Structure 1
Amino acid sequence: MLVDALIRLQLPIEQLRAQTYDGASNMFGKYSGCQAEVKKVQPLAKYVHCGAHITHLVTSKAVQTFPFIKDALDHVHELGKLYDGSGKYKHLYLHLHDDDTEKGSPTRLKPICPTRWLTRASAVTTALHNYADVPDSLQEASAEFGTNTGSRANGIYTCLSSGKCILGLLASLPIINCLEALNKSLQGSGVNVSGMLESVKVVSGELKKLRSTEKFSDIYQAAKAKIAELDLTPLAVPRQRKRPKRLQQGNAEAFTTDTAEQMYRIQFFTAFDTAITNLQDYFVSSDLAKYQELSALLLNGTTSNEDAIIQEYPELTESLKIELSFYRNHHPASTLEGHRLIFKAMEPSVRRMFPQVERLLRLLLVSPASLCEAERSFSALRRIKMWLRSTMTQKRLNHVMVCHDHRDRLGAVDYQQIAEEFIDRCSDSRRKVFGKF
């Protein structure tokens, strides 16, 4: 299907240099996935795993490492589902302080959607901001509402009344905020792979700084203050269970934590280690290594493998070495974006002096870091192909999708000019029907 689409669009597959998909096995499979099948036809089509999808996977694995963080997020998700699914509870929650003019109205709650990006931090922040009002509304709902809604409200109230939930939400925010900032930066259409890899280094360094005893101590003290303020169940070490004899090895005693702070600090560090390790593992592949070699050729002027790189790509020739030396003496830049801006502002006559450098820059820029722009068109399909348009043909659907994707350009079109041209091209009978527009 991909080859057929390329042929119809008159795009030769011989010039294909990059491909980007999500993490589905039928797309990125090493041996029989789509990217592997495309490489059999065009080996130069380097595969890049979508950076936004990777960040979403890393976030999911990091927050689900240990129960006290995972359970807290699950409780917030259930609270958001109750808020969205029950109109009675929503009305009760929003009008909780109507009789008290000094207290402001609570803000709306949000569930944590597992398939959407950039939804965890906002949902957690909203829950923490309204934590004083949520238990009161849940207690009132469990006492007044019917069996189903009342039992759900009572169960959520029991979970949120534990101090462990507050600590889990506060401990998850540093990880979520860092990874969602990375995710947001990778969703733009102009993001390149070089910028993505630099952003990953920055986020990894920030996560390593946040993984400290001082940071967790601040979070733990803030959780204790919040627990005392809201009169929640205090943090404590759970009862230690005796290990079965079949699992005991040697005479040494099993490690146990003496305080609740020590126990949760270990889990907090492990969550950060999981995030850092997965970031490093996901953003390392053979194709990314080749891309970095190609990038180093432009940024550094030379690499240990420059002859093999030049021979691999048919559009590059040996004159690239001379052009690179000449170009870098007059136009130094430390980033790929810097070189792009230099070529964009360069005079055409000067630009024609560096054709090989321009081709090298195009090879680096053609690799997309994410496929968010393409997926947004898929999301728009549900809004366009609705039940009121059930008889829409494929041809018309394609035309409507093109109009939707390029709505900015379509908004600049003069509709009166199009209508007048339509009338002038028609027969006299149609002119009599439409007249003057």
Structure 2
Amino acid sequence: MRGQSYDNAANMSGIYTGLQARIKAMNPLAYYVPCAGHSLNLVGTSAASSCLGSVSYSRFLQALYNFFSASTYRWDHLKAALPAEGIVVKSLSETRWSARADAVKAVFLHYLEIKSALENICSDSRQTVATKLEGEGLIRQMEAFETALLTVIWYKILTRFNATSLSLQKVETDLLSVVKLYESLISFVSEMRQGQFDEIEDQARAFAEPVYTETTKRTKKRKHFFDESVGNETQLDPREKFKVDNFYTILDCLRNELEHRVNAYSEIKKLFSFFTEYDSMKYDDLKAQLELVVSTYYSDLEASVLEEFLQFKDILSSESDRSVTNISTLLRSKDGILTTAFPNISILVRIFLTILITNREGERSFSTLSRVKNT
């Protein structure tokens, strides 16, 4: 056994008494790798609850779905307001973040149409007072510039996160690819934080009047105590306040969580990164890393790994696809001629590819079996 992967539940991933720790105590080479899919979900969950504005926006999305799905009359009004291929509002899900991405996408693409459907329902004299009040409350939320901003912000974030999540679930994705995908998300979030707020504001103007809610409120004056020095307190204008309280908070939380998740793969990456980075590595660095690999898997490998790889990388130079998955295919081609020539490289590739990066498919299988059993 050379690897194990579970979700991030403490009873499975705990470093002292979790299942992975117990297995590793019996087999030190059974490296634990957190499920990449679950980890990405946890990153999103943490960011969604990182500030009041984000929590309120999530509730708004769910309230929007609840309102329209409460009756066929409202649902028909919504569908009539949307274009032929339009996306209807979606419900949120705590576990499936693709559902959250779909919910935000529907609002982003059809913001004005959804608002128009709400207005039509509220103007219908046949509707109850409770329905009108609920609809008018949703309209007021959609008229708030902050709601429009959060729609654009979360659409940008979730579009990339959802696409990355789908990539993580592909069979061809290996652990080094997971690290690169996570690092690319960190780069995306950092760039978004540095200079995209003006662009986000421009997009949000198409949905709502660019007036921040705080501009309509009176500035609060705080009472000072007798032993407190009275000075000019920093007062942020509403735009800056939104950036600090929401925009920066969400993105900083995403970055911190992503960096934390990437660190979980650092031990494995330290062993196998030479597969994709050998071109940029100096000989001494490559030698040191392969010596570390041999000392780690001393019962599986011979000391001649370095010489094997120095020869093997010349063969790789003619390959356009240098992923570990393709290396495995290359070694097994032509009746395994290369496997005979490079036995230690073949063993290393097999060890690497047997280390799970996600257990989503297994969980889905169990869920399906449960449904079949209950029918």
Shorter chain as denominator, the TM-score bin is 0.7 to 0.9
Larger radius of gyration: 1
Find out whether 1:218 has 2:199 as its counterpart: yes
Find out whether 1:126 has 2:126 as its counterpart: no
Q: What is the CA distance between 1:293 and its match in structure 2?
A: 2.4
How far apart, in 1, do the equivalents of 2:272 and 2:63 lie?
46
- Within 5 A, what are the aligned runs for 1:29-428? 29-95=14-80, 107-139=87-119, 141=121, 144-146=126-128, 151-213=133-195, 215-228=196-209, 235-237=213-215, 238-243=217-222, 245=224, 252-258=231-237, 260-266=238-244, 267-285=246-264, 288-299=265-276, 300=278, 302-304=286-288, 306-313=290-297, 314-332=299-317, 335-345=323-333, 347-387=335-375
> Quick one: which amino acid aligns to residue 253 of structure 2?
T
For residue 205 of structure 2, give the secondary structure of its aligned residue in structure 1: helix
> Quick one: which amino acid aligns to residue 226 of structure 1?
F
| Comparing 196-205 and 129-138, the one that deviates more | 129-138
How far apart, in 1, do the equivalents of 2:273 and 2:85 lie?
56
Report the TM-score when normalising by structure 1. Answer: 0.73
Q: What is the CA distance between 1:349 and its match in structure 2?
A: 2.6
> Quick one: which amino acid aligns to residue 260 of structure 2?
D
Gaps of 5+ in 1: 1-15, 98-102, 388-437
Residues 376, 204 of structure 1: alpha-carbon distance in 2 compared, 3 angstrom cutoff: same
> Quick one: which amino acid aligns to residue 282 of structure 1?
R
Residues 364, 106 of structure 1: alpha-carbon distance in 2 compared, 3 angstrom cutoff: closer
State the number of aligned residues: 359
What whole-Å deviation, never above 9, does each CA across 1:89-141 have from its counterpart, x for those lacking one? 223433469xxxxx869642212222213122321121233333333443554
Q: What is the CA distance between 1:27 and its match in structure 2?
A: 0.9
For residue 159 of structure 2, give the secondary structure of its aligned residue in structure 1: helix
For residue 119 of structure 1, give the secondary structure of its aligned residue in structure 2: helix
Q: Which residue of 2 aligns with 1:390?
A: none
Residue identity over aligned pairs, in percent, reads 21
Residues 352, 79 of structure 1: alpha-carbon distance in 2 compared, 3 angstrom cutoff: same
For residue 47 of structure 1, give the secondary structure of its aligned residue in structure 2: strand
How far apart, in 1, do the equivalents of 2:54 and 2:22 lie?
40
Residues 123, 324 of structure 1: alpha-carbon distance in 2 compared, 3 angstrom cutoff: same
What whole-Å deviation, never above 9, does each CA across 1:257-315 have from its counterpart, x for those lacking one? 13x33222333133222211210111213xx3331222135453725354343233211
- CA RMSD after TM alignment: 2.9
What whole-Å deviation, never above 9, does each CA across 1:349-390 have from its counterpart, x for those lacking one? 332011111001111111121112112212322441234xxx
Of structures 1 and 2, the one with the larger relative CO (CA 8 A, separation 6+) is 2
Q: What is the CA distance between 1:28 and its match in structure 2?
A: 0.6
Gaps of 5+ in 2: none
| Comparing 375-384 and 134-143, the one that deviates more | 134-143
Q: What is the CA distance between 1:80 and its match in structure 2?
A: 1.2
> Quick one: which amino acid aligns to residue 183 of structure 1?
S
How far apart, in 2, do the equivalents of 1:249 and 1:174 lie?
44
> Quick one: which amino acid aligns to residue 254 of structure 1?
E
Q: What is the CA distance between 1:30 and its match in structure 2?
A: 1.3
